[in-house]
Amino acid sequence: MAGGATHSPRYEEFSRYVSEHGPALLRMARSLTGSHADAEDLLQAALVKTFLAWDRIADARARDGYVRRAMVNTQISEWRRSRLDVYPTDEIPEQRVDDPTWRSDLADVVGRAMDRLPERQRTTVRLRFYDDLTEAQIAARLGVTLGTVKSTLSRAADKLRRDADLVIERTGRG
């Protein structure tokens, strides 16, 4: 802020929240949009809405849900707007040269490998690496011991590595 003024406690608290939760929220936005640039825009729009409502979100545990809901609602609105921009025509437009698929080959392989994990392993991996929860937070959320979380993550990582090795062998990449 200009003139050396300090930020309000509200601003500081919000900034801390964004620093701590931003990577996980950006991954969710990426899954909604399929594009890193669009994900950044979506997350920024959701964070603006969240900041404006920050004082009304009394329970700190509800903040992630608020931001996620704001992202989903914003993305749904964007999908609706984009559908309104499409008009029937007698002319077929030129095809894009770049690959229009929103999932890369790697993301597809990882998604299929995750789907092959047993439910507990899949849930634990998602909480750790997609939601950025600590092992202790995962243990508390799932009602298991810290050791159970660590061993579950280890078994899941081993299975994912074996799956990746098989893909590399089949494709001849590596």
Q: b/e for 93-131, b at 16 or more Cβ within 10 A? A: eeeeeeeeeeeeeeeebbeebbeebeeebbbbbebbeeb
**pTM higher than 0.85:** no
The residue behind tokens 């090795």 is 165
- For 118, phi and psi rounded to 5 degrees? -60, 155
Q: How is domain 105-171 classified at the CATH fold level?
A: Arc Repressor Mutant, subunit A (1.10.10)
Helix crossing, 36-53 with 9-33: angle to 10°? 140
* Domain boundaries, given as residue ranges, for the chain: 8-84, 105-171
- Pair of tokens at residue 57: 């979100």
The DSSP symbol for 34 reads S
Q: Can you give the pLDDT of all 174 residues of the chain as single tens digits?
A: 444 455 777 788 888 888 888 888 888 888 888 888 888 888 888 888 888 888 888 787 888 888 888 888 888 877 776 665 555 666 665 655 555 454 456 567 677 788 888 889 888 888 888 888 889 999 998 899 999 999 998 998 888 888 777 666 666 555
Residue 34 · residue 102 · CB < 8 Å: yes
Burial of 40 (0-12, 13-18, 19+ CB in 10 A): middle
Other CB atoms within 10 A of residue 30 CB: 19
Q: Write the CA distances from 62 to 10, 14, 33, 57, integer angstroms.
A: 16, 13, 23, 7
Q: How is domain 8-84 classified at the CATH fold level?
A: Rna Polymerase Sigma Factor; Chain: A (1.10.1740)
